[in-house]
Amino acid sequence: MTIGHLIIASGFEGNLYVGSVIVGICYGSQWSLMPTITSELFGVKHMGTIYNTISIASPMGSYIFSVRLIGYIYDKTIIGEGNTCYGPHCFRLSFVIIASVAFLGFLVSCVLVFRTKKLYQHIFEKRLHRT
C-alpha cells in the first residue's frame, strides 16, 4: 500500500491509475484476510465483537486523514491560488503522509509475524507429526 501511495504522490501522468490499482488490491486483500487473522489471533468466541471493533478503524482513519489532515493541508496549499488548486503539488504531501502511516502499519505487521512465528511453527510441526 505504501508503494501505491508513493506512486500516486509522484504526480507523473498515468500514475494515478497504477497507484489506485495497487492500493485497491491491498485494501481488498486486507479486508478479505481480516476475519481470518482476527479469528486466529483472538479466537472465535467473541469474533464478531472484536472484528467489528477492528472494522471501526477504517472509517475513523478515513475521517482523520481525509477531513482533518488532508483538508487542512489542501487549505494551506491553496493560499494565494484562489479557491482551487491544480496539479500534483496539491496533494503530494498528503499521499506521502498516508504512505508513511501505511509503512508504519507494515512494520507493526512484521512485528506481529515475528512474535507469532514460533507459535505457528509449533502448530505446524504438531500437525505434521500427527499424520
What number of residues does the chain have?
A: 131
Q: What is the pLDDT of residues 9-19, one digit of tens each?
A: 998 889 999 99
Residue 131 has pLDDT above 70, yes or no: no
Contacts of 39 (CB under 8 A, 6+ apart): 47
3-state secondary structure of 102: helix
**Contact (Cβ atoms closer than 8 angstroms) between residue 73 and residue 94:** yes
- Sequence spans of domains, the chain: 2-130
b/e per residue 59-96 (b: at least 16 CB within 10 A):
eeeeeeeeeebbeebeeebeeeeeeeeeeeebbbbbbe
Q: What is the pLDDT of residues 96-128, one digit of tens each?
A: 999 999 999 999 999 988 998 888 888 888 888
Grid cell locating 30: 486486507
